[in-house]
């Protein structure tokens, strides 16, 4: 198998955009290459193919109008290198966000599209199925895709797991970390979001299902919130103990998350009954620990990839050997065991030969 | 096999001196270790052994009186690492002067001593014989030991190859490069040396067979010389065209080698009939080219070592397998060819398995 394409790693978005092939174009590419799978996401456009040579495949990129000097962005992988690349892509190891699993769905879809169109052969089928199996194994056996590393994701996770229905009051949702937290909260069905907006502020984005209230009325919505997240760039406290204490009437546990530097929330609010406060330092420490976990998970994932890749390569080697099986059997059966060992000794290097002898020693 | 010892690479001479074991001590060491070879040169003291563990072998060093913190100088090699070290030592790759072949003689002697004393087993015999064969192959197939890289050696070579009997007049033999050239000339049976000495100079060493004459009379001995080498630190010419032209009566080719900076020999002497002049720049260029040759020869040598080492390791692996041969044959003969392939597939990694399939495909 060979692989060729561009990705976020070396091609800027302006280049990648030109190669966001639609279904028709993907079909045309597969037909041109004989056996091929086309993976097309916002981060990469890659062709995996078996029959054609890399020149033909590269031409599909270079011949595009406005391709410019696309060749400097193209990356080519062959044989074992191509198989490993497919595995690393499918498993999220090659992703911008290490371990994200959106790519697994995209690879599955690209493979299904090619398979349904009859564009896959034994090698592509075996390789893609093995890569998908490998990705599932990594998902099950490691915490690679389960470990959030950004403060925004961690904050959103903490909020979302408070209960079956969580009311979140977001103060400062228009800043970088605030909007990132908001986007992390949006897809969670159990979270109901109220965001504050300053009068005359152009920065606030209105999302579906998010209630927007004036910043000056923030204390009025505090009592109804299970979680208050504050992430403004204000030099003053957005929430003080005195004013917050005066408005919290309902007796329930509350999580306050302060994502601002300098802090938005007066530290002493933690003294109010039922209030737990998490600051940016706590989240940073959690992020650091999570990052370590993720790195060690990535190492485990690489080991799993090597194992699964090795199995795949045995399968492919044996498949390639099949047409020669009968002749080899006849020849082998004419040799004594000692003669066969000598043939192996001559044709193998010492590590390979020693491994063969180990197998022979282990025969029942 | 294991190896353990100290060498010029990490232990200073003052340390190495304490471990310059005599024949009796070497014998005692071999007896203590069971099967062992002891290599003892001025640059290294190393034990190669099979039965004992490295702790026992290290004790032979650490228990010596005045051993001090010898452990920080000890280097230990095991299995493939020990075999490779033996090969690199024997082939002069590990030597202070890359490719010197004195070490080959020393390894041969150390091995012969151990073998005669009955201190070698199959593995030591096979390994040392293979290392010695490898060193001979490198000597024949590469120019590693034939390529001089110092100006002194190149000058001595140029002088010595002038003919069957070469009279050399050495001016300035007491300086660094001069004495090095002299020492390079001394062992050559076809070279007859006359050196000049300044009156009252304490620096001149009197070697057997070297005639010493006063510096002031250097021109008197010029006519008899086939080669004149000058290597003083004088700011003045030691030989001028005018004075040399006046004393050279015999009509014969003459080589003048100027090893001094600033030059000792007036460049115009090259105009005298039969005189060829080589300067330090010519030698430097030659040394540079030779050094390149030597580096590429060293790379060839490393390839040869890897090849021969691989052969040796197959031999050792097969020897280790021999006791299991009959049982393995019986087991293998109960399997079909396909079943045997599956066993190999399960026990090998993909590279090994593919190599085995290649052998099977190549069976006649």
CB contact under 8 A, A363 and B337: no
A246 touches chain B (CB under 8 A): no
CB contact under 8 A, A333 and B338: no
A363 touches chain B (CB under 8 A): yes
Tens of pLDDT, residue by residue over B339-353, are 999 999 999 999 999
Distance CA B329, CA B340 (A): 12
Answer yes or no: is pLDDT of A252 > 90: yes
CATH of region A2-141, choose from 3.40.640.10, 3.90.1530.10, 3.40.50.300, 3.30.460.30: 3.30.460.30
Cα Rg, chain B, nearest whole Å: 28
Asked if CATH classification 3.40.50.2300 holds for the domain at A151-285, the reply, yes or no, is no
User: In terms of DSSP bridges, do strands B2-7 and B44-49 run parallel, antiparallel, or are they unpaired?
Assistant: antiparallel
Q: CA angle, corner A168, sides to A164 and A288, nearest 5?
A: 90
* Candidate from A338, A343, A363 with C-beta closest to B359: A343
Distance CA B249, CA A118 (A): 96
ipTM: 0.70
Compare all CA atoms of chain A with the CA of B364 and give the residue at the minimum distance: A331
Cβ burial, residue A168 (10 Å; 0-12/13-18/19+): buried
What is the location of CATH 3.30.460.30 in chain A?
Answer: 2-141
Between A290 and A223, name the one with better pLDDT: A223
Cβ neighbours of residue B67 closer than 8 Å, sequence gap 6 or more: B18, B61
Q: Give me the residue label for tokens 């590429």.
A: B296
A52, A74, A136 from A55: Cα distances, Å:
8, 11, 33
Q: Give me the residue label for tokens 């198998």.
A: A1
Tens of pLDDT, residue by residue over B308-343, are 999 999 999 999 999 999 999 999 999 999 999 999
Interface test with B, best of A353, A358, A362 (most B CBs within 10 A): A353
Catalytic residue among B42, B91, B134, B227: B42
pLDDT at A13: 83
CB contact under 8 A, A310 and B350: yes
Compare all CA atoms of chain A with the CA of B311 and give the residue at the minimum distance: A350
CB contact under 8 A, B325 and A338: yes
Give residue B43's pLDDT band: very low, low, confident or very high (50, 70, 90).
confident
Which token pair is B254?
A: 């003459």
Query: Which of A221, A266, A278 has its CA nearest to residue A240?
Result: A266
* Candidate from B310, B350, B356 with C-beta closest to A356: B356
Which token pair is A194?
A: 């109220």
CB contact under 8 A, A360 and B313: no
Nearest CA to CA, how far is A84 from chain B (Å)?
13
Interface test with B, best of A313, A323, A356, A364 (most B CBs within 10 A): A356
What is the location of CATH 3.40.50.720 in chain B?
Answer: 151-278
Burial A194-217 (b: 16+ CB within 10 A, else e): bbbbeeeeeebeeeeebeeeebee
> A83 and A127 in contact (C-beta within 8 Å)?
yes
Q: Assign domain B151-278 to its CATH architecture.
A: 3-Layer(aba) Sandwich (3.40)
Interface test with A, best of B350, B362, B364 (most A CBs within 10 A): B350
pLDDT at A67: 66
Distance CA B56, CA B40 (A): 19
pLDDT at B282: 86
pLDDT (mean) for B133-153:
88
Task: Find residues 259-318 of chain B whose CB sits inside 8 Å of chain A.
Answer: 309-314, 317-318
Distance CA A57, CA A77 (A): 12
pLDDT (mean) for B351-361:
96
Which token pair is A131?
A: 């890569």
What is the location of CATH 3.40.50.720 in chain A?
Answer: 151-285
Answer yes or no: is pLDDT of A300 > 70: yes
pLDDT at B12: 84
A181, B260, B281 from B177: Cα distances, Å:
75, 9, 14
Q: Residue B315: CA atoms inside 13 Å, Cβ hemisphere, count?
A: 16
CB contact under 8 A, A360 and B317: no
Burial B91-117 (b: 16+ CB within 10 A, else e): bbbbbeebbebebbebbeebbebbeee
pLDDT at A141: 93
Compare all CA atoms of chain B with the CA of A314 and give the residue at the minimum distance: B350
What stretch of H or E contains B42? none
Nearest CA to CA, how far is A108 from chain B (Å)?
25
> B247 and B275 in contact (C-beta within 8 Å)?
no
Give the mean pLDDT of chain A. Answer: 91
Query: Which of A15, A4, A125 has its CA nearest to residue A56?
Result: A4
Give residue B169's pLDDT band: very low, low, confident or very high (50, 70, 90).
very high
* Candidate from B318, B329, B335 with C-beta closest to A345: B318
pLDDT (mean) for B123-129:
97
B126 touches chain A (CB under 8 A): no
Q: DSSP labels for B321-344?
A: HGGGHHHHHHHHHHS-HHHHHHHH
B325 touches chain A (CB under 8 A): yes
pLDDT (mean) for A78-94:
95
Distance CA A351, CA B313 (A): 8
CB contact under 8 A, A347 and B341: no
Q: How many residues does chain B have?
A: 364
């Amino acid at each position: 198998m060979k692989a060729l394409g561009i990705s976020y790693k070396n091609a800027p978005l302006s280049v990648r955009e030109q190669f966001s092939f639609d279904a028709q174009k993907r079909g045309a590419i597969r037909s041109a290459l004989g056996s091929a799978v086309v993976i097309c996401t916002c981060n990469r456009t890659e062709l995996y193919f078996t029959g054609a040579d890399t020149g033909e495949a590269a031409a599909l990129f270079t011949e595009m109008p406005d391709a410019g000097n696309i060749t400097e962005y193209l990356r080519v992988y062959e044989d074992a290198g191509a198989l490993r690349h497919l595995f690393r892509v499918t498993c999220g190891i090659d992703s911008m966000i290490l371990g994200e699993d959106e790519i697994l769905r995209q690879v599955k879809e690209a493979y299904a599209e090619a398979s349904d169109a009859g564009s896959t052969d034994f090698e592509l089928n075996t390789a893609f199925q093995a890569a998908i199996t490998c990705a599932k194994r990594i998902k099950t056996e490691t915490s690679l895709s389960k470990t959030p590393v950004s403060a925004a994701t961690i904050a959103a996770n903490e909020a979302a797991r408070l209960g079956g229905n969580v009311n979140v009051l977001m103060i400062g949702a228009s800043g970088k970390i605030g909007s990132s937290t908001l986007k992390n909260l949006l897809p969670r069905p159990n979270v109901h979001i109220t965001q504050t907006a300053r009068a005359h502020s152009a920065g606030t984005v209105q999302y579906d299902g998010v209630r927007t209230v004036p910043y000056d009325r923030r204390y009025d919505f505090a009592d109804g919130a299970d979680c208050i997240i504050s992430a403004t760039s204000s030099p003053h406290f957005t929430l003080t103990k005195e004013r917050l204490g005066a408005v919290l009437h309902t007796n329930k546990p509350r999580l306050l998350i302060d994502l601002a530097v300098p802090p938005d929330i007066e530290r002493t609010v933690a003294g109010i009954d039922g209030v737990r406060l998490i600051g940016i330092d706590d989240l940073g420490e959690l992020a650091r620990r999570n990052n370590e976990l993720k790195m060690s998970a990535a190492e485990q994932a690489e080991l799993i990839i090597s194992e699964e890749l090795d199995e795949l390569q045995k399968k492919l080697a044996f498949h390639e050997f099949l047409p020669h099986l009968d002749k080899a059997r006849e020849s082998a059966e004419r040799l004594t065991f000692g003669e066969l060992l000598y043939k192996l000794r001559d044709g193998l290097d010492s590590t390979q030969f020693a491994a063969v002898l180990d197998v022979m020693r282990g025969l029942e």
